[in-house]
Structure 1
């Protein structure tokens, strides 16, 4: 005489079938278990995973939504729902679900999925932050390092991008996407140095017979010295102007925006709509601040490139 199935036995069988990638049988067992216990969260989770593996994302979403109805604090369900929304291309919904997921349970997978969603709605800086959290929680997440590097390239932070590509390759030496990204980033880095360098010159092959021309400060003519001084003056003046813009922006834009956000979160009875408006304003201001900072950084890099050139010994003098 056979024993009647229970919700627990159906869960065990369903998980075993899922592990064996026998998805149809796994679904059959999970559904049988839910017929016996409709509110069993683990059965809904297993069924959602099975639908996800079958690429039936609409039904997978329904399973994870049902878990959230049963347990609104279930971070795993929010994270899985966000992953499904990413697959469906519904990235704003994914961001919303994944933010709730990582608020309840901080996981590398949650932040990784959040980074994907944010990148796809144009929030590249926020995606960088999400991927940084992902690799902090799981230093062996090579995919997160790759996506982080790609976002850093988009933000023109090539040096940090190179570091992230290298991290991905340390974890997975055969990671072809990381290899290609690293090669391109290094190429872009070289091109950027040449573009930033305001004193780039070609070596003449007509009059020096292989002797490398010196452009050290001690070799400049009086006119070259005056031109060099003017160049440094202009660079420093540009940096001063950009830093003043940043300071003014911090005082007149960022500080009031943050004050509004603090006031909104502290106020009793503040409506969700008003709080969202304050948060949206803060995000807009933050994006503008990042843009200002990047412009100032470009001027600083130009000055540094000049200093490195002037204070670098001539090749012939290096012993």
Structure 2
């Protein structure tokens, strides 16, 4: 680490930013980070440059990295503001409001955060919804389709198929079976007469509800799962509840030294998850204390992997 060289590069980045040369600023900040990876202000400055380029996802990543490193209240406040702006940029209104509110918690007199908060719609039910122009074909018909004709005639609509819900007991039983199988056999035996066919996608988020003695098994089970099994289960986006559970599980097994090579296994899984949709949103729902706790454990147990972990969480 060379703080003086990093500080020099930071100055060059600031000058480029002031000249609105944002790509050049990012290059200087990135070079400075390579020399001083524990400097949260560098991540904060680079996040601001990404915001100017409207690269909101990279801005979010840098804000999270910066927040894991800084302790100064003013620097934290800046990162919250920039994180809120990035969420606003990707139309995540609820999260944008949440982080602008955090700025005001630190500094109630911050007029910029107050104005941003006031400008956002109160109704945040449209989060992550983007409008698109859609061409709708209008066709002439001689008679209305049956479902519309029923409405006109006042006739009851056709009964819907009953929804079959699985009980908590069914889920718990299936997870218990998963724990008792050999480690390499991750797919349940569908030939068993008592088996209720469910996708891995629905099983994994259920793990967070395990209580008592089974919790340790759930932690161990999910960390031992191959990264491709987990990533293949979330093709439509990472589930926030599962991500939070996974970080919790990773911290637990790291603290207890329960699993050999847990650090590389967790890193591989996080790398795979980071390639999926909604990874940044899932990460933003995770308790920052849990993320910071995992980083501290990595720094203590295997500091060589710390930078890679910081890049992901």
Using the size of structure 2 for normalisation, the TM-score is: 0.43
State the structure with more CA Rg. Answer: 1
| Structure with larger RCO (C-alpha < 8 A, sep 6+) | 2
TM norm structure 1: 0.42
Which structure has greater helix proportion? Answer: 1
